[in-house]
Structure 1
């Protein structure tokens, strides 16, 4: 029989500590593995905290504005404005490409 004694390995992290570690891991050029190692965590824990601390995204429809005088754009079927970015989608654009570009703009 093996008896394990000593300090319990489970730690309780304050939300401020979690946010600080997640923010450090999200910095450009940061290594999640390095930050996790310095904090004595597994990288998967940081990813879990990032997911848990993210603002919930409610499914639904996006707001659409239709202007009375649309700008003529040759060869475009749809023009999207997302967060200051303008995306012009050609009528013959592959749906997978359009979906990938829109997902990248949401981040």
Structure 2
């Protein structure tokens, strides 16, 4: 059994365009900053989220022009953070106490599994060796 229409809204005039007073716009934008998402606020008021975002942008520009909030500073271009690579000592420090777990003698830096074949390549392997292993695996497929 159908409940029928939950909400019925009639738009009068030409098209779906509505005129919102500035106080109502400010109130709707304030709701977005009160912890509720823009989409939920827009849906509740029968608006598109893009319209609410536009109102937020316009209100922010108006406040910046009036000096109520500082203007946002934009950088010229995005900048990458430089990568820092620390050298790793080859010698491990001696353990202070013995553990019952068996320690692996060497850990693999790269492990390849292709078509049921598993290959482990150690940390000290040369780049040409790694390339040769990969080529050999490709050739067997």
Q: Which has the larger radius of gyration?
A: 2
User: What TM-score range do you get, normalising by the shorter chain?
Assistant: 0.3 to 0.5
Structure number with greater CO (CA < 8 Å, separation at least 6) is 1
TM-score after normalising by structure 2: 0.35
